[in-house]
A and B are shown apart, each in its own frame.
Chain A
């Protein structure tokens, strides 16, 4: 029987949530982020592709979507940092009967804005968006996207037919971007009733028509909260940036060893700074030259520099998947990523230097962070985190 450890984060602590193909883990540190304690595995044996932290309305709630290979996926929550979880007896994300579809995987859990604390979104496979308006008790299919005329023609990528990223515009409540592999970026400006493509200029290297109406294989999109019209995009071949919320995209693959990769993250305080981990090719999805390098841009993609200090630079044929690279919200930004080989790395100086937090975990499929809010009685403070 696997031994499950627990952590007890306090207000102001840093929390890293790690989903793997065989369970979830928590890593906590104080705000210095020098030493870490590890909790887990939670849901041992279950794949956990989606995790989130929800500090709205005074909560300190973890969300996770454990998925049994045999018995399906549910979204569960914990208000005590993983010691206990909501029961999960009923499958709470269910496709309506008339769709004929069955849930395969939850790829993303996205708590909505602070002013709507009961609202959450979930991106799932087969590609669809679900919404909850009662704090995650009941989930319903967002019909506007499901009924989009493109949807029946979407094709699955190597990871499946998944809606893997949900970006909520912090300033326009009705605007949501979603990314679907293989379909592209879709945007609603009316709260989900209607959707249109938002990937003009993104190349589909793998199709005869390189700029189709849809069919782009978008691996990840990442937005800066202070400049919500700016989004970075890692495509299945291609790095892009938009400054107009996806109406047009500019190629920013300048000085990278490969523009193939999966993960992408934005600095929490600087919209010009973003991170990627280039992989050699779609044929050989490993770090080029056996060197594990995070590439960082500080000029919105005009140039990228390799970050290597503390990362293995020899015989490191690693893979970082689409949701396994992220940043935190501390004053001195932390950057984190996990590998398919079960290594977890962290930087607490905006990516300049790195330390390894864990090795030997199951294959890592998602990495999320939180600055732990103060206890409920004291409201929503976050220590020194912004």
Chain B
């Protein structure tokens, strides 16, 4: 199956400047599994998006289509073929 990832500007240094990354996976039933494919391609992204405990950072949002995974089951959110996953910094911008 195929998943398309959208990468935010501050993280482009970890993808060689690619704003859109497409990943093929034999199986990626959940956001967690889809993101694992992304980390394999661009390992530097993982620690930016997840804490060392494997949770999405507090001020990072992950969307599948138009839905934030915070509302749809977190990293266990189901992913369908040709899904688009966007990683977007929260609007909370620091002090």
Enumerate chain A interface residues (CB-CB to B < 8 A): 21, 45, 47, 68-72, 74, 87, 89-91, 94-95, 97, 100-103
Q: A69-B92, A71-B57 are in contact. Are A102 and B43 (CB under 8 A)?
A: no
Q: A102-B53, A103-B52 are in contact. Are A89 and B10 (CB under 8 A)?
A: no
- Which residues of A lie under 8 Å from residue B43 when comparing CB positions? 89-90
CA–CA, A283 and B95, complex, Å? 20
Please give me the residue from chain A that is nearest to B54 by CB atom: A97
Q: Of A21, A71, A100, which is within 8 A of B10 by CB?
A: A71
Q: A68-B10, A70-B10, A70-B89 are in contact. Are A90 and B55 (CB under 8 A)?
A: no
Q: Decide if B49 is an interface residue (CB 8 Å cutoff).
A: yes
Given A71-B49, A97-B53, 10 further pairs, Cβ under 8 A:
A21-B95, A45-B10, A70-B10, A70-B57, A71-B10, A71-B89, A89-B14, A90-B44, A101-B53, A103-B51
Q: Decide if B12 is an interface residue (CB 8 Å cutoff).
A: no
Q: Is the CB of B53 within 8 A of A71?
A: no
Q: Is the CB of B60 within 8 A of A100?
A: no
Enumerate chain B interface residues (CB-CB to A < 8 A): 10-11, 14, 43-44, 47-49, 51-53, 55, 57, 59-60, 89-90, 92-95
The binding surface of chain A is classed by DSSP as: loop
CA–CA, A317 and B91, complex, Å? 31
Q: Is the CB of B94 within 8 A of A102?
A: no
Q: Is the CB of B51 within 8 A of A72?
A: yes
- Which residues of B lie under 8 Å from residue A21 when comparing CB positions? 94-95
Q: Is the CB of B53 within 8 A of A70?
A: no
Q: Is the CB of B52 within 8 A of A70?
A: no
Query: 5 tightest A-B contacts by CB?
Result: A69-B94, A89-B44, A91-B47, A102-B51, A71-B48
CA–CA, A290 and B92, complex, Å? 33
Interface centre among B43, B47, B93 (most CB of A within 10 A): B47
- Which residues of A lie under 8 Å from residue B47 when comparing CB positions? 72, 74, 89-91
CA–CA, A34 and B6, complex, Å? 50
CA–CA, A225 and B44, complex, Å? 40
Q: Is the CB of B52 within 8 A of A91?
A: yes
Q: Is the CB of B52 within 8 A of A69?
A: no
- Which residues of A lie under 8 Å from residue B52 when comparing CB positions? 91, 94-95, 97, 102-103
Please give me the residue from chain B that is nearest to A93 by CB atom: B52
Q: A89-B44, A90-B43, A91-B47 are in contact. Are A71 and B11 (CB under 8 A)?
A: yes
